[in-house]
Amino acid sequence: MKKLVFALLTAVLLLPTASAAGGESVALSRSAGQAKVVLRESVSVKSKLVRLNDLFSGTGEKADITVAYAPVPGKRAIFDSRWLYRVARAYGLNWRPLGLQDQIVVERESQMITREEIEDSIRVALIDRGADPNTKVELSNRMMRLYVASDVAASVGVEDVSYEPRTGRFTAILVAPAGDPGATRTRVTGRLHRETDVPVPARRIKANEVITERDIKWVKVGQNRLPRGVIVDINELIGKSPKRWLRAGIPVRTANVQPPILVPKGSLVTIYLKAPRMMLTVQGKALENGSDGDVIRINNTQSNKVIEAEVTGVAKVAVLPPGKIVMN
């Protein structure tokens, strides 16, 4: 708001001076024989200055006359009907507002420097001052971003860095664009956190699908943002199956995976009955899901009796006559 007020005040200062009555009559007489100009609805300017042609079309040889300072990059200013009418009269333009709704929004063309880019620049500066390279910068202001003009390099300099290794806290001054004496200077605070390499799904993995090494990628995660129970050993993921969909790039908790289901609930299985000097087989139907080594309930489709058996492979279970489980 302060910058908008500044832009409007500056705009007033750029208007030519004239006596109250005489100035108006001269301006009106000069515009009497001219073609009517048209107010633009909005405009985006590259320069620090706003010219007549930015506000009105049809200004002819007066197009390049400067009438105001443009807002800073990333900001906008609204010029209302009263100010615009004063400009039109001052420069002899044939234009009158139809009402208070006549206004123009002036924006400054800009480039955005994202929070991630800012954090990377601060991290480099802190490492140069002895900070641990295996750390991640986290700004206190999670919405932090900077804007620079569109005709300069989108760079940010880091100055006056203060860092406390014990707590990981830091302060710094950001200069954007970097190296520009007239650039915007912004004070920021934040913390450094150690990072851990974490295996995460490289793609979306559906429930009961067997996870392979090709399904995994590594990402760095700040230890402060690592939830309890998250898997950090890739061997705890490979060969397992998700209990529900796993999203790509999101760390996986131990409770979210299980050994692969070899016998799905409702599927037909072969029941192996081992006895001395013989092996009997019979068909059955699984009454619950089972992974390798799980004991599950099976319906013997021949006798229609429910027994317990150990899962020994895909669609395979094994029992002993007294119900004791054996390995296949």
Q: In whole angstroms, what is the distance from residue 254 CA to residue 304 CA?
A: 38
Q: Which residues pair with 230 in a beta bridge?
A: 253
Same domain flag for 36 and 117 = no
Domain of residue 229: give its range: 196-260
282-328 tens-digit pLDDT: 999 999 999 888 999 999 998 899 999 999 999 999 986 554 444 33
Q: Answer with the one of 85, 108, 131 that is the final residue of a domain.
A: 108
Q: In whole angstroms, what is the distance from residue 326 CA to residue 149 CA?
A: 75
Instruction: Provide the domain count of the chain.
Output: 4
Same domain flag for 57 and 18 = yes
Same domain flag for 45 and 92 = yes
**Domain presence at residue 96:** yes
Q: Answer with the one of 194, 228, 249 that is the final residue of a domain.
A: 194
Same domain flag for 9 and 80 = yes
CATH number of the domain within which 287 lies: 2.30.30.760
Same domain flag for 62 and 152 = no
136-184 tens-digit pLDDT: 899 999 899 999 988 888 999 999 999 998 888 999 999 999 988 888 8
Do the Cβ atoms of 217 and 200 come closer than 8 Å? yes
253 vs 279, residue with greater confidence: 253
Q: Answer with the one of 59, 92, 108 that is the final residue of a domain.
A: 108
Same domain flag for 89 and 117 = no
Determine how many CB atoms are found less than 10 A away from the CB of residue 17: 7
Q: How far, CA to CA in Å, does 213 sit from each of 200, 218, 233, 254, 306?
A: 11, 11, 12, 17, 38
Same domain flag for 129 and 34 = no
